[in-house]
Amino acid sequence: MPSSNTQEEIMEYSQLVKEAIKAKNHSYSPYSKFKVGAALLTKSGKVYLGANIENIAYSPSNCAERTAFFKAVFDGEKEFEAIAVAGGLDDDNTDYCYPCGVCRQVMLEFCDPETFKFISVKDKENYKEYFLKEIIPFGFGPGSIK
């Protein structure tokens, strides 16, 4: 647990982590059998959940992160604080989960790389926090063409 976080933030993120783990239950993943759940926290304090939704043609599949972002953006949300992501083949054998390149790019569209936190979840006690800029360094985002 990073010491720079306030107690309030730590409480908030441990709750977000639990929500991401629960969101795995909504995964539709008959092909990979890899269930992923995401919990996206808006700056206004709302949480949007997502799960991966696969397709027989494979490429139309959607990751948990994008499901959560697209639900939130559809609802008019544009300001985000953090996303927690949990994934695994089964609940007893989980490891830290990291986003694909496409999801990192979607995060960069809507989030400040300096402040937005990506939280990689192993289980409810073990998770790692990263700033978006750490997981997509030298990214091409909306700020790049200003």
**Active site residues per annotation:** 65
User: How far is Cα 127 from Cα 43, in angstroms, rounded to an integer?
Assistant: 21
Instruction: Give yes or no for residue 34 binding ligand THU (CB under 6 A).
Output: yes
User: By rule CB under 6 A, what string of x and - marks binding of each residue 41-60 to ligand THU?
Assistant: -----------x-x------
Q: How far is the CB of 59 from ligand THU (least distance, A)?
A: 11
Instruction: Give yes or no for residue 85 binding ligand THU (CB under 6 A).
Output: yes
Three-class SS of residue 11?
helix
Tokens 């604080």 belong to 81
Contact by Cβ (8 Å): 40, 63? no
User: How far is Cα 37 from Cα 26, in angstroms, rounded to an integer?
Assistant: 8
Q: How far is the CB of 53 from ligand THU (least distance, A)?
A: 8
Instruction: Give yes or no for residue 37 binding ligand THU (CB under 6 A).
Output: no
Contact by Cβ (8 Å): 120, 113? no
> Could you list the residues that contact ligand THU (CB under 6 A)?
29, 32, 34, 36, 52, 54, 61, 63-65, 85, 87, 97, 99-100, 103
